Amino acid sequence: MQRLRIDRIGGQGDGIAETPSGTVFAPLTLPGETVCAEVREGRAESVEIVEASPDRIAPVSPQYGDCGGCSLQHWAHRPYLEWKREQVRLALAREKIETEIEPTVAAPAASRRRVALHARRGPDGRAILGFKARRSWRLVEVRECPVADPRIVRAIPALAELADAFLEHPKSAPTLHVTWTLSGLDVDVTGVERRSGGLSGDARTRAIGAAYRADLARLSLAGETLLMVRQPQIAFGPATVPLPAGGFLQAVPEAEAAMVSRAVEAVRGAKKIADLFCGAGTFTFPLATVAPVIAADASKAGIDALKAGVGSAKGMKAITAEARDLFRRPLTPFDLKGCDAIVFDPPRAGAIEQTAQIAGTKAGVVAGISCNPQTFARDARVLIDAGFRLERVTPVDQFLWSAHVELVGIFRR
């Protein structure tokens, strides 16, 4: 066993100790702690806390320490949120960007309306649901989850019965993507073996029966609807939108609201707004209460859902939506002519191709939403070099007790 002093928390949520032999990563530790551990290839295993940090608190999850989901549940709220803010500062600093970074917006516990539950056969042959263990493919069975919406947690026994039908083939590794909607639970299943012919007719029948007994709004298999009792719907601003099967949705309503409110406030007074990587309209509909919006996203299903939601709300300005791959065919300054405000919310890879086009527009304000501070900083550098100023950034803790941090950045000419 080796004695280690934890200096700081790294970007993936592990404690970091600097030793004469090199850097050691120690999971589930905190800055200032002294621990004893077996060190193998730069990682601490079998960690024992010798001197605990005063910021260490009791975890609330029964799966803590085994489940790979909540790596920072043992950290007091204030320093944990400040660490997330610091991760944003560090990402910006790598691009030599300085700006005001607001305090991290916290997401409450028991609020995640979208979770991915992996299904496997347990030792007794029954179907179990859970999350992957830390740094492992092993499944940790979950019966309680302090971050998930309680309505999802209560449905876990029924969802396990549903999962049984999708474990028909020994090579299947199903994942149930579970979303709580205004219409009830929406479940899209991926990871089912297809080379052998996919799900048999009997298994489909059993899955549909289990979904009906669980009162699911919809059950789909990799986007293909197997059963729909009620159209899953989501509220975006004043609109009610039909959620596409397997479609993207922000995980926590409170985090979504924090990001939307900042984007809308930034563009007030605009005459025309572009919403890029718009999905099914998370930002589009709230933005349309300010000015006409042109919206674009690669997902045709998302755009179709957005269009279907247009007639559900009153008091909005005109919305024009287009299915378009913004990586291969970004909107050009000509396409964005007349847009004096632009909002973009790309995937983790960022939006470097589209950002380069935004830089050439006459837009006076840009709101960038990101789930990856590193790619945001890279995109921000492009805008800053084109004459924008990054006015402020707001970190958002959408994925509670994880190392993940999201943000909203406001740019002005």
Active site residues: 371
Q: What pairs with residue 8 in β-bridges?
A: 16
Burial, 59: exposed, middle or buried (Cβ in 10 Å; 0-12, 13-18, 19+)?
middle
Q: How many CB atoms lie within 10 A of CB 170?
A: 9
Which two tokens mark 194?
A: 């297809």
CA distances (Å), origin 219, targets 37, 67, 72: 46, 26, 33
Q: Are 316 and 285 in contact (CB under 8 A)?
A: yes
DSSP 8-state class, residue 133: B
Q: Are 253 and 297 in contact (CB under 8 A)?
A: no
Distance CA 25, CA 222 (A): 37
In sequence order, what E strands does 311-398 have?
319-323, 341-344, 365-370, 389-397
Tokens 């004043």 appear where?
A: 238
Distance CA 121, CA 164 (A): 8
List Cβ neighbours of 153 (8 Å cut-off, separation of 6 or more): 144, 145
Q: 309: closest CA among 212, 200, 234, 255?
A: 234
Q: Are strands 34-40 and 224-228 parallel, antiparallel or unpaired?
A: unpaired
Q: How many CB atoms lie within 10 A of CB 372?
A: 19
